Amino acid sequence: MADATTKAIIDTISRYLARCTDDELEAVRKKFNCVMRLDIAESGGTSSYVLDLKSQCTAGPLTEQSPSPHVTVGLSDEDFVRLVNGSEGHQRLFMKGRLKVQGNMMLLDHITSLGRLLDAAE
């Protein structure tokens, strides 16, 4: 995804999930089985997104109706894009202090797997 941003990635995933068949959604649920919250530092402040890849299979901005996350990840927009496209690893970002995690840290591997959802969406 050229000139990718977190918002563009979330929008692409959201559109992909909306057009998936029931069988495809079940495969997504089986693979991810979690709710992730992303707190993304951008030039104008922080934006929060929720990826519900457990029950509803939706992706979008955080709302009052969003489910409770299994993991909350805080990082910059640029670092999130690098994680999803595979050019940076979450372990490296965490060790550098550029990635903050609350909740189930083991679910960080799923962020890199989001790149496969993007490949399927395009």
Residue 1 belongs to some domain of the structure: no
Q: What residue type is 58 in one-letter code?
A: T
Domain that residue 63 falls in:
6-121
Cα–Cα distance between 59 and 49 in angstroms, integer?
7
| CATH code: domain of residue 77 | 3.30.1050.10
* 77 touches 93 (CB < 8 A): no
Residue 40 belongs to some domain of the structure: yes
Output the six-digit token pair for 97.
């202090």
The whole-number pLDDT of residue 112 equals 82
pLDDT higher than 80, residue 1: no
User: Tens digits of per-residue pLDDT, 47-85?
Assistant: 999 999 999 999 999 999 999 999 999 999 999 999 998
Tally of structural domains, the chain? 1
